Amino acid sequence: MESHETIAARIDARFGDDLRRVPSICDELTYEVDKERLLDVATALRDEPDLSVDQLIDACGVDYLSYGEVEWKTEAATESGFSRGVERKPVILDESDTFDPRRFAVVYHLMSVKLNYRLRLRVFAGESNPPIVPSVAPVWSAANWFEREAFDLFGILFDGHPDLRRIMTDYGFIGHPFRKDFPLSGNVEVKYDTDKGRVVYQPVSIEERTLVPRVIRDDNRYSADLKDRASDG
């Protein structure tokens, strides 16, 4: 089995600036590719014998809206509990003609059975609204349903996909629920209408409320006298 760095050197030599290596905490080879070069790179990875990326394991959408921002930090313990979400930052709906070019991405998880290594490719959709990337289903047929899922949940379109329709939500669903600016209560709700004798859609009737997860430490493990006795013993 060849080392990751040996494989990485081969990929770097073959693709040059077409692939840019991304640091990974999982110690897996991760590269970023421009969407204009995605299909050419994918085809070469699959067909060239010294690369032999013959399987697509997964493809997932990513929404980087507000990436890196935090509402609360937990570096230190607290006796009163966390109040995450009590004073939430307002969600800003991105309804402009274009998106931040690095907001939406698709990550392809690939594997070479022959050479026994894994590879991840990340491609950003750019600023187009709706976000669009080429489909890799013509290269790896397993991408078909994965790309449908990314379309359904994130609203990412895949140019050249043979059957791009919803796969997780109902066909009458409004919006894409994994987007960071999707309302927590949704846009519509479904109920059975006894008068009409069928399922109907209607505007959401529940009121949005903030859930406040807390860490409550009120059991006897934290009582002062037990701590004193433990230290004396």
Return all residues near 168 (Cβ < 8 A) that are at least 6 apart. Answer: 149, 152, 153
Domains of the chain from N-terminus onward = 4-179+209-232 (3.30.460.80)
DSSP 191: E
Q: What is the pLDDT of residue 85?
A: 45
User: Is-cis flag, bond preceding 130, omega within 30?
Assistant: yes
pTM assigned to the model: 0.77
Residue 30's SS3 state is strand
Collect the ranges in the chain with pLDDT lower than 50. 82-86, 90, 216
